[in-house]
Amino acid sequence: MKHAPLVQQLITAFTCLPGVGPRSAQRMAYSLLERNREGGLQLAEALTGAMEGVQQCRRCRNFAEDDLCPVCTDERRDQALVCVVASPADVLAIEQAGEYRGRYFVLMGHLSPIDGIGPRQIGLDLLEQQIQSGEISEIILATGTTVEGEATAHYILDMVEGTPIVVTRIAQGVPMGGDLEFVDGATLAHALRGRRQLER
């Protein structure tokens, strides 16, 4: 049995979401059509509003509704301290920790030549302009530990060469409260390499 064209269009639209296949999309579409049409209309309105109203901050590339995001306009933050992250979700995670008071640069991905993602696609040309402007004193690399994340970190490190900018990498390894027996070998090796001296 074929779906009505509008139902099929709705199902197909849901499959654009990560991890949503045809069956999950069908369940979502049926749920809205059968039991929650008001919710579906609210979803449509919210999607339209976000797709039309959310852009990238011209300074850090994070999601913003204005030219600059709230972090970049906050004068209480250290504008010379820049944390480079892969996505807006990373910004949210760091902000929820409540320790960081600098600003961000959001790549919206990692370098991946195989996928056709080069420096310009992730905004490294904009970051290079900021590096050359002399407004940055430290860059914190908070890209992932994947091959792409490490390659991106090394690329940024090369960009900073010859400048007085300090480059640091976030510590990675054993989680707080975790038992060593449950930590994988690669994570343990990374934690051992990144060890630091304790203050007495």
User: pLDDT digits over 165-183, tens only?
Assistant: 999 988 777 677 666 667 6
Give me the pLDDT at residue 165, please.
Answer: 94
pLDDT attached to residue 141: 92
Mean pLDDT of 189-200: 67
Is the pLDDT reported for residue 140 higher than 70? yes
* Structure tokens belonging to residue 63: 């999601």
Tokens found for residue 193: 């390499």
d(CA 111, CA 117): 6
Position 198 pLDDT exceeds 60: no
For the segment 183-193, what is each residue's pLDDT rounded down to a tens digit?
677 777 777 67
- Please provide the size of the chain in residues: 200
CA distances from 58 to 52, 69, 90, 132 (A): 17, 8, 18, 17
- Domains of the chain in start order, with CATH, are 1-36 (1.10.8.420), 76-173+186-193 (3.40.1360.10)
Quickly count: other Cβ atoms within 10 Å of residue 140's Cβ: 19
What confidence tens digit (pLDDT) does each residue in 63-91 have? 999 999 999 999 999 999 999 999 999 99
- Look up the pTM and report it: 0.84
**3-class DSSP assignment, residue 84:** strand
| Cα distance between residue 187 and residue 200, in whole Å | 27
Per-residue confidence (pLDDT) for residue 97, from 0 to 100: 85
